[in-house]
Amino acid sequence: MFEPREKRWRVIAAGVLLGLGFFVILARLFQLQVIQAADLGQKAGRQHHKVLTIEGGRGTIYDRSGKILSMNLDVPSVFGAPRVITDTRRTASHLARVLLVDAGQVEAKLKNGRDFVWLERRLAPDKAERLRALSLPGIGLIPEARHFYPNGTLLAHVLGFASIDNEGLEGLERRYDAQLRGERGHFIVERDALGGAVFPKGLNYAAPSAGKDLILTIDEVIQYIAEQELDQAVTKTRANGGVAIVSEPKTGAILALAVRPTFDPNHPGSDANLSRNRAIADIYEPGSTFKIVTAAAALEEELFSPDDLVYGEDGKYVVEKTVVHDHHKHGWMTFAEVLHKSSNIGIIKVGQRLGPERLAKYVTAFGFGQKTEVDLHGEVRGLTKQPHAWGSRSLASISMGQEVGITALQLAMAVSAIANGGWVMRPYIVSEIKASSGLTLARFEPAARRRAISPTTSRVMTDILRGVVLPGGTGTMAALSGYDVAGKTGTAQKLDPNTGRYSKTRTVASFVGFLPADDPQLTILVVIDEPKTEQWGGTVAAPVFQRIAAQTVQYLGILPRDVSGQVLAAQAPEASKRSK
């Protein structure tokens, strides 16, 4: 009699359990279909799709007039999908004939079991067309940006170059890599049930975007002038290399920076000796150009005036049991003539009056032994010592530019301080950073690092350095008709690594100066490393300075003056015409 009631309860229990089961299933479906739908969709996408990234093109670099110095070109790159290829050997053979590579190497890449493999990046257009015509299964082409330098070797050490993977390796390309890099693009391929890549005919492709642009202080025309003249000098004298720098002394803006030997950033190769920026990475003993520092220090400390007399000892002077010689025998000279004639003995006596502490103070004040803070990669500090580390001959040696290691850019900035009233400026090459839309994102202005000397000392030194290029001075070959030039020659013997002594045949010849002396617009430095035919700064480097200056003032429209200091108006139209 209890059987019907038990049966009924069993049915009810089974119904409740079945209902709970349906409820759990519905709740789970709601969770999967509604609550977790977005996350699960993404997970499914990751399982059935593979995202491959493409590097964005680098930003464009312009000179100060808007001329393109580096740019991007879209070029095709060829890839393979090994799992899609059925006849690997045949495919590799076809590819090898087009790419001009070993078929065995291509076949090895296609047999590595990966979903995707690059076969060659940034193809030449003719190769890309031949590959398209072959229409090989599992082989595709994707556009990639290739950074291109349209002027070849021009400005190579400043621009630098980037790797095939869009990483800046040298020069501005490295220093401003974060700004120049573009946003990555991508394309999506589908996966099959086994996880292999399936490349549909219509790739889901999102194009990369270019990086930010740089506007430089460099002037392409002045750069060309500097490189041409430096090339001729290095070739004519059979020198190891050289540097030429043109800058604005009042701002620190670099208008040209030429280095030899050079390279083509489109094909940089692996020789670091060619791509090294010797203007900021190589140190050398400057010799007589450094006498400017000693003389300026003595004037600033009011130890000498231009007309004070210094005895030249008839060309021989003993310093710590070592005989110092002048190239010519000099008797009594004025302080100014010590620089005009580039007397070693005269400047040593000036240095002895200064003493180690005061000389060291001005060596530092002019920026030696520290980085100039130029916006280039690879700058070194140079080599200077504190007075407590000087030897018995150090005061004499440093006074005339020995026992001190400097860079060419440091010297250009130090002499610019003489020209501009005493300020050591921070040299700079990038003036603006812009978005691809043209919007200015950052602008860099001239910045003074410190005052080295007073305006009075600057004016007196400028007057003295004018005399270097006048008859009787060592730099007459730097003189430019119609313009007041102020400057200094330098001929520095290099140490012989075998003997530890200064070589009589290996020298660095240099000239550094500025013009017009009464209102300096240009500082120009020329350094020639180990010239073979001639050795003197006055005959090797000074003429290069003169030729660079002559062409640059005409190009910029800096007008000449007559002997009374008046602008020669008759020449103004022609100069203005050249500047346009």
pLDDT in tens, 286-301: 999 999 999 999 999 9
**What per-residue confidence (pLDDT) applies to 567?**
58
Q: Structure tokens of 330? A: 């000099």
Residue closest to 259 by CA, chosen among 220, 227, 307, 235: 227
Question: Which single residue is written with the structure tokens 């059987």?
Answer: 3
**What per-residue confidence (pLDDT) applies to 185?**
60
Cβ(215)–Cβ(74) below 8 Å: no
What's the distance, CA 297 to chain centroid?
32
What's at 144, amino acid-wise?
E
Euclidean distance between CA atoms 418 and 463, whole angstroms: 11
User: Which DSSP symbol is given to 32?
Assistant: I
Q: Could you tell me the pTM of the whole model?
A: 0.82
User: Which CATH architecture describes the domain 220-579?
Assistant: 3-Layer(aba) Sandwich (3.40)
What's the distance, CA 66 to chain centroid?
19
**What per-residue confidence (pLDDT) applies to 56?**
64
Report residue 20: phi and psi, to 5°.
-60, -40
- What is the share, in percent, of the chain residues with pLDDT greater than 90? 62
**What per-residue confidence (pLDDT) applies to 116?**
80
**What per-residue confidence (pLDDT) applies to 49?**
54
**What per-residue confidence (pLDDT) applies to 186?**
59
Residues of the chain with CATH 3.90.1310.10: 53-216
Residues 6+ apart with CB under 8 A from 51: 186, 187, 188
**What per-residue confidence (pLDDT) applies to 55?**
61
Residues of the chain with pLDDT under 70: 1-11, 13-16, 19, 21-24, 26-56, 184-208, 562-580
What CATH number was assigned to the domain covering residues 53-216? 3.90.1310.10
Residues of the chain with CATH 3.40.710.10: 220-579
Residue closest to 322 by CA, chosen among 360, 298, 340, 348: 348
- Report the catalytic residues: 288
User: Which DSSP symbol is given to 33?
Assistant: I
Quote the Cα angle for 291-538-393, to 5°: 30
